[in-house]
Structures are given as structure tokens and as C-alpha cells.
Chain A
């Protein structure tokens, strides 16, 4: 608190360092994701050509000094397209994670707090969850039309119920905790209990769930684009590239290989971070120093 004579509470940087040393998967995941992120942000200056520019004479070339990852059936530079494609994947992954965590948190808090709202909301979410995420997203895309914004919207709708259920579960289990009853006895209003006691205790599981949603969204975006129900075909995204390269796989595997490799690496990185965070933030392990 304000007493300056106190020996300091372990500061956050120190604790963060300890956490990273004990859970190196977070470090590995962050490293890989950081590289992909850097590439995506610096795409225009990362030795790329225009990803849409066609070189009809250089079609289906294997990797060379001029085209690091080779060229596709229209002679477009695969390295440039892969780097620009990272932007789509990351934007979709992070946006869907952020949106569904926000929506799921709101729905979960309401459902966990009110029995009637719980009954109504959970039946609706059960309905949404009973439809496979890919099918739901395809249906929503069919209604709303192609576009990155609509991909994000469709995937958010598909991913929100899982987050909401998680938050609801956390709230319901916290309500039985004596420290919540103690807060009631201490004269706290329910809103204040929700904000001061419940919300901070949902952060750790939400952070972990958010990374899984992010990874799932990147994969689903690629799937949607692959089957032509996602990002518009003129936008270079990993799913679009793999869809276009499918017919040429036997003669030019690089068209599919590089975006596929990058997609796997990025999803792996996000999952590594999620697994590491899950272990690091597990309250059962928290007291072991």
C-alpha cells in the first residue's frame, strides 16, 4: 500500500522472469509469434514485391534468389504473398480472440449471476454450440458475404459460447467460495463483488482460453478461405493461397508448402503460449516457489 517503510512486494518484472524461466514454452511461443508478427507489420519493407503483381514468364518457379519461396501459377512471388498473408491470419486470430473474450465475458458474468438469465442464455449458447464451428461460419458467411470483417464476425459468433461457458463456470464456482460470502458480510454490493472479486479471478483462465480461440480462429479462417467462403480471393491469405495451389501440388508444392508451414508455425506458437500460461497460472502450482 502506501507505507514506504514496507519491504517491497515482489515486483512484476521479477515474477515475470521467474515465470518465463519455469515455463520456457511461453518464451518459445512468444519468440516464434513475435517473428511472424514482425514480418507481418514490416511486410512492405521486408524485401517483398507487390503480392498481386503477376510475372507471366516466371510461372511455377521453384525457390530462387529472386523469388525466395518460388512463384505460383500466375508468376506471383510466394514469399511476398506469404508475408502479406500473415497479416490476414494475425488480424483474424487476434480480433476473434479479443471479440469473443469480450462477448463471452459479458455473457458469462450475466449468466453466472442471474438464474433466469442463465437459463435463457445457456439454452441459446447450447444451440449455437451444437452446430460445428465451420458449418456455422459457412452459413454466416453465406448470409453476410465474403470479407475479412464478416470472417471475424462469423468466427466470433462460433467461438463466443465456449468462452461464455468458461466464465459462467468460474463465476458459479467462485460464488461458493467463503471469500465471496465474506465480501457479502463485509457489506459489498453484488456489482462491487463482481468487479473486485470475480473479474480478477477470471483473468487467468480467460487469457489461456483466448490463446486457444486465437489459434482456432487462424485455422478456421484458412479453412473458410480454402473452401472459398472466407477472405475474398483477390486478397492474399494463407487459406486462399493453399486453395489456389491445390491443383498444382504435384508440380509446384511450394505454393502450398510455405503458407501451410507458416500457418502451422503460427498456430503452434500461439498454442505453446497458451499451454505455458495455463501451467504458469494454475492456482494449484502457484504456491510452489
Chain B
């Protein structure tokens, strides 16, 4: 198997090979059943203590990728390994204990907390399920977790509706932190928050990474946020990864035309130094019937005939920078 992903050497804590997630859909009684190609063969490797940003427009399959990696929905095909152990073929029961190392923080701070449970009960759930601490030490551990995410210990007796969106997201982070995981999948975890609260939550996530060595798969559509928190960034378009690189390389010298267009749309705080905007024409094509060849060719300003027929392979341009484009070849 060719190594399509880049990244530093060493034992990865999470690896994904050729992950595919298709959803069958029926459009009407007599129409032929269709297939949504949500994720169509992605490769990722996540190192200990690393943050890998996964960006793309809405509907590009980044959240489906996250859910599949978390084992919340079974993959169509592909291999997912956690700590070197294959988890995609495990039954629900045998997956359960392994979830200790693989946690999640969701986007919506309102629907991700059960409105009828106190914060203490919410945090006790993973502690009890994974036997992290003996029952007698649970309340103390809950207070510690709350303190760690910047909430008072008194919050344990309160209900989620008594908190603001940012505070609720901190509760969600405390829940993910409770089993002392190695990986946290952050699925648009700050997208629903105000900008100032976003910054606080991101700084909290970065502090936790520094203190506990947690790896993040940080799924987001906000490129500025991803630039701030990530070590490496993967760009997704219509179920495929089109470019993956170290943060500095990707933001300074984007190689894929799609990445260039995305980055050109990010507002820059330096007046007069604006990049030339590369406007994309048209909408994202339907994942029900993705374009042939390179999926971006319908909107690519540089597309040539070859792009319409031949799927570009992920090519390593230089160490730590790979791109899937016919027009880009190694230096």
C-alpha cells in the first residue's frame, strides 16, 4: 500500500485508511435507490499530542468522516485503527471499552447535553462506564474536571439550561475529558459560539493538549480557527481529501486550486495586503452523483481534459505536503 498521507514518523494514535462512507437513499417509490458518497476514500494519520484540522465546505463529508471514525455509524469500507488496533470491524460491545481513548465534542452545545440530567450526572456517566475512578472518588473527580474547564464545582448540581452556550461547551469538553482519552474528535466544536467565546474554548482545548498530550481531530469550516489550533491541516472536497500539509506550508503555499480559492476567501487583518480573491463558480456538485475524474474539475479555474477523466492520486510534493492534483508535481 502506498503511503498517501504525510506526517512525522512514529506510532500514530489514530489512523484511517481508505475510509468510505456511503448512505443509501430512496428518492420516491419507483426511483432507483441512490447513494450519497459522503466520504469516498480518505487517509489520515494522527500523532500523539497533535491537532489535525479537517476543513471543507458544508456537505463535503467532514462530519460524516468524524462520526464514522468515532464508530457512531459503521463505515462502508476502509480501516480505522486506534492505538494500532483495528476498530472498524468491532461489534458494539467490544468497541465499548475502547471508546475510553476516543472521545467527542459536538457542535451544538444545546442538543449535546441531556436537558433532564444534572451536569454532575452527565460527567458521572463516562466515569462510571469506564471505571476511571472508584465510586467514592467520583464527586471529587467531577469537581476537578469542572475546575479544569473553568467552571465552579457548584455547577455539578445544576441543569444544562442554566448555562450559556460557551459554558455548556465547556461541560461537553469536561465530559470528553473524563475518561482521560488519547484522541478527541472535535466536530465543529466552536462553530456555534460567539467569536470571543470561541477564542476562550480554543485556548482551553490547546491548554488541555499541552497538559495531557491529547490528540485532536479538529473538524471545522472556519479556516482562521483551524490555522490557530492545528499542527497539520487536511482539506476535504466532496468526500475526498485534496490536500494535506503542515499548517505553515498549507497557509503560505497552498497547492491545490481548491485550497487556494478557500484561503483567498479568508479575511485578513492587514489592510492593503489582501490576497487576490479567487472566486469559485457554481455550487458544490451533489454527492449523490459526484463528478468524474477530479471532483473539483467542474469548478476549477485550471481544469484540463485529463481532470475530467482521471482521478488524481495523492502525491507527495515535499515532506509533509501532499496534494491530489494533476497540475502539481514534486519540485
Contacts and interface: CB of A to CB of B under 8 A. Distances in A.
Interface of A: 1-3, 5-7, 9, 177-179, 181-190, 196-197, 200-201, 283, 286-287
B208 interface: no
B97 A187 contact: yes
Nearest to B116: A200
A196 B154 CA distance: 22
Contacts of B100: 187
A1 B157 contact: yes
> Considering residues B70, B112, B142, which has the most beta carbons from chain A within 10 angstroms of its beta carbon?
B112
Interface in B77-114: 92, 96-97, 99-100, 102-104, 106-108, 111-114
> Considering residues A178, A181, A183, which has the most beta carbons from chain B within 10 angstroms of its beta carbon?
A178
A196 B104 CA distance: 20
Given A186-B125, A186-B129, A1 B106 contact: no
B112 A2 contact: no
B179 A187 contact: yes
Given A179-B113, A189-B96, 13 more contacts: A1-B139, A9-B118, A9-B159, A178-B107, A178-B108, A178-B111, A181-B106, A182-B106, A187-B179, A190-B92, A201-B115, A201-B116, A286-B115
A186 B175 contact: yes
B185 to A, nearest CB: 9
Interface of B: 67, 70, 72, 92, 96-97, 99-100, 102-104, 106-108, 111-118, 120, 125-126, 129-130, 139, 142-143, 153-154, 156-159, 161, 172, 175-176, 178-179
A202 to B, nearest CB: 10
Contacts of B178: 186
Given A1-B139, A201-B116, A185 B70 contact: yes
7 contacts: A1-B142, A2-B139, A3-B153, A9-B157, A178-B112, A187-B97, A197-B114
Given A1-B142, A3-B156, A9-B158, A182 B175 contact: yes
> Considering residues A185, A188, A286, which has the most beta carbons from chain B within 10 angstroms of its beta carbon?
A185
B126 A187 contact: yes
Nearest to B100: A187
Contacts, number: 90
B99 A187 contact: yes
B161 A187 contact: no
A150 to B, nearest CB: 38
A182 B172 contact: yes
Contacts of A185: 70, 72, 99, 102-104, 176
A124 B97 CA distance: 38
A1 B70 CA distance: 31
A63 B293 CA distance: 92
Given A181-B72, A196-B117, A187 B106 contact: no
Contacts of B179: 186-187
A5 B154 contact: yes
Contacts of A286: 115, 161
Nearest to A190: B92
A178 B115 CA distance: 12
A182 B92 CA distance: 15
A3 B120 CA distance: 11
Contacts of A287: 161
A283 B158 contact: no
B157 A283 contact: no
B11 to A, nearest CB: 23
Q: Report the 7 A-B pairs with minimum CB-CB distance, sorted nearest first.
A: A187-B129, A178-B112, A186-B126, A1-B120, A6-B154, A178-B106, A200-B116
Contact of A184 (B72, B111, B118, B158): B72
Contacts of A7: 154
A187 B92 CA distance: 10
B114 to A, nearest CB: 5
A170 to B, nearest CB: 13
Contacts of B118: 1, 9
Nearest to A201: B116
Contacts of B161: 286-287
Contacts of B139: 1-3
B157 A3 contact: yes
A278 to B, nearest CB: 17
Nearest to A180: B114
